[in-house]
Amino acid sequence: MTAVWVLIVVLALATAALKLAGPLTLGGRPLPASVLTIVELLASALLAALVVVETFGKGRSLVLDARVLGAAFAAVAVWRRAPMIVVVLGAAAVTAVARLLY
Amino acid sequence: MTERTPARERRAAGIRRGLPFGIAVFAIAVSFGVLARPLMGLVAPIVMSVVVFSGSAQFGALAVLLAGGSTAAAIAAGVLLNARYLAMGLALAPSLRGNALSRGAFAMPLVDASWASASRGDGTFDPWYMVGVSIPQYVGWVLGTVVGVLVGSRLGDPKALGLDALFPAFFIALLFEEARGRRRIVAAAGGAGIALVLTPLVPAGLPILAAGAAAVAASRMRRL
């Protein structure tokens, strides 16, 4: 059980350190224009990677399972401008039904 | 939201924007609580959500423990999965004003959805708006964990309920709003490609961080 608490404390401190490193070392200084352009594009690149990992990733392997159907529903729902809650709960429902059927 | 809009209004607008995220995060946190309860007990998962407040790191560390991995391996997985916060923090830094303490206070509520929502699209961020978007997510995350550990196995298998599909759906919604314009779509496609190629090759978390290289590449392309 102690191990669990060590995990919690270390993860909390490490997460805080990662979030704080930039703001505490850079201060309020502006970034050079070339870096700003990268920053502008960073969210798109990281979010797309998160989509891939959360849809196909299983540890260190890529798998095709019922999550793909849920993600496909989410993509269509987002494109049709459905509210966020419909997007996520609909994705869960589609995935659950797919698992029930197979 | 411009810089002239009062802080309180910007924060309130952020909270409104964050409400649907909060509901989604609540559902994700319930599944975290359900999965964590047998291994971590009643209190530890709740404390973890209060002090770590990070879905990917908490799920990642838990997955390592559930697979029989060591505490050190679980910590490494969690840290790697959160390594993207280093990049997000660096991006946010120039938009923060004041002394180190106040800059730190604005950086702590940084999570994916808030960071992406607070982006003004020109490389700068609205810190008060970001804090606002984080508030419903934090409440949802902690409350959901409490419900998850209390309801526990009575809810059934989180996978049978499709709760593992909440994550990709959440990020798809964020990505759709963010990736507008040709250069951003190229960055997104590149990031997705890097994640696909690297996932089987390197430890979890690294592919997401490495996807940042797609942003660098897209920023250098002349004809877009």
Nearest-angstrom CA–CA distance, B117 and B127: 10
- Distance of residue A2 Cα from the nearest chain B Cα, in angstroms: 10
**A57 part of a folded domain:** no
Contact (CB<8Å) A46/B212: yes
**A63 part of a folded domain:** no
Q: What is the pLDDT of residue B224?
A: 67
**A66 part of a folded domain:** no
Cβ contacts of A52 within 8 Å, gap of 6 or more: B192, B195, B196, B199, B207
Token readout for B120 is: 């003004």
Fill in the amino acid letter for B172: I
**Bridge partner list, B182:** none
Residue B170 has pLDDT above 70, yes or no: yes
Contact (CB<8Å) B162/A88: no
The chain-wide mean pLDDT, for chain B, equals 90
Predicted confidence pLDDT, tens digits, chain A (102 residues): 689 999 999 999 999 999 999 999 886 677 777 887 887 788 889 889 989 998 998 878 899 999 999 999 999 999 999 988 899 899 999 999 999 998
Residues comprising chain A, all counted: 102
Q: What is the pLDDT of residue B5?
A: 82
Among B10, B87, B55, which Cα is nearest to B163's?
A: B55
Residue A17: domain span: 1-30
Could you tell me what percent of chain B has a pLDDT over 70? Answer: 98
Residue B141 has pLDDT above 70, yes or no: yes
DSSP reduced 3-state for B53: coil
* Residues in chain B within 8 Å Cβ distance of A85: 20, 23-24
0.90 surpassed by complex ipTM:
no
* Residues in chain B within 8 Å Cβ distance of A5: 44
- For residues B195 and A52, the answer to whether their CB atoms sit within 8 Å is yes
**A6 part of a folded domain:** yes
As for how many domains chain A has, the answer is: 1
